[in-house]
């Protein structure tokens, strides 16, 4: 498995996505011929975000938002790193017309697919933002650490990050937390997933024969030293300081099962922070 990962990270982002399309082509062709794919669900070969079942994951996230963020049908939602609509799909069946969804991503293919398939949802909007990331986008040199979200101040009730901070360097994380504070309404929530290093998770990594984060720095650990944005884990205390410096408050911390915890007792594979303004 480690050899396959090493080979995988030697490929460029577009090459990785092309190989996935080839691999899933037979399945996607059968799904098309027999009309087996649900509305707003992309072909498996085009999905580039997250593991597991696309529909189940999206449904679970919606339940998480309802349980932890007081989500309402009229709310305005910003989905940062929206990918190819994993969170947008369940929200399309939840939000009322007065509600609003905005998503942006650095992978053009995902945004193009969503723009095409959400035409009937006038309150849904998707934007392509050409930012550099050595896992997802090498066609731009624009840094995420200097990016300003293209939305007004205090515009959203909920800001969502699913598997976004797990692929961002420290300065970019700090900027995105600052921007989240800016665009959140007072009393609004932020739902964000991370890999967070606590005493428990660090002990788990220390005891693992093939640690998922073998490259360790003061405040963060890397999965791959060549593709630094591949997977990044941050010390919880470091992230908590960033959150507080941005003006946000950590409302709750839910440990994920990535570090050996019982899956049934966890909200998500990754750690989840619920933050408020």
- What's the pLDDT tens digit per position in 198-249? 999 999 999 998 899 999 999 999 999 989 998 999 999 999 999 999 999 9
DSSP label of 172: H
CATH code given to domain 49-276? 3.40.50.150
How high is the pLDDT of residue 1? Answer: 46
Q: If you count DSSP H runs as helices and E runs as strands, how many of each does the chain have, helices first? A: 8, 11
pLDDT category at 6 given cuts 50, 70, 90 is low
Q: At what angle do helices 170-183 and 236-246 cross, to 10 degrees?
A: 40
DSSP label of 133: B
How high is the pLDDT of residue 50? Answer: 72
pTM of the model: 0.95
In the chain, where are the structural domains located? 49-276
């Amino acid at each position: 498995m480690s050899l396959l990962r090493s080979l995988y990270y030697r490929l460029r982002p577009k090459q990785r996505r092309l190989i996935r399309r080839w691999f899933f082509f037979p399945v996607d062709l059968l799904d098309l011929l027999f009309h087996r794919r649900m509305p707003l669900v992309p072909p498996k070969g085009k999905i580039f975000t997250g593991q597991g079942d696309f529909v189940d994951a999206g449904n679970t996230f919606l339940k998480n938002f309802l349980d932890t963020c007081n989500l309402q049908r009229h709310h305005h939602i910003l989905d940062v790193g929206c990918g190819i609509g994993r969170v947008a799909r369940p929200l399309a069946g939840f939000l009322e017309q007065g509600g609003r969804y905005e998503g942006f991503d650095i992978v053009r293919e995902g945004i193009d697919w969503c723009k095409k398939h959400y035409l009937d949802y006038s309150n849904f909007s998707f934007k392509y933002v050409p930012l550099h990331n050595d896992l997802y986008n090498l066609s731009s040199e624009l840094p995420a650490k200097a990016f300003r979200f293209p939305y007004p101040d205090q515009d959203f009730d909920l800001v969502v990050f699913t598997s976004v901070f797990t692929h961002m360097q420290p300065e970019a994380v700090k900027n995105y937390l600052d921007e989240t504070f800016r665009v959140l309404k007072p009393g609004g929530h932020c739902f964000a997933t991370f890999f967070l290093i606590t005493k428990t998770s660090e002990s788990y990594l220390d005891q693992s024969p093939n640690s998922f984060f073998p490259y360790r720095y003061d405040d963060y650990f890397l999965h791959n030293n060549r593709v630094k944005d591949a997977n990044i884990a941050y010390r919880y205390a470091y992230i908590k300081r960033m959150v507080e410096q941005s003006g946000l408050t950590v409302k709750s911390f839910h440990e994920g099962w990535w570090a050996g915890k019982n899956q049934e007792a966890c909200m998500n594979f990754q750690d989840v922070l619920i933050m408020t303004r």
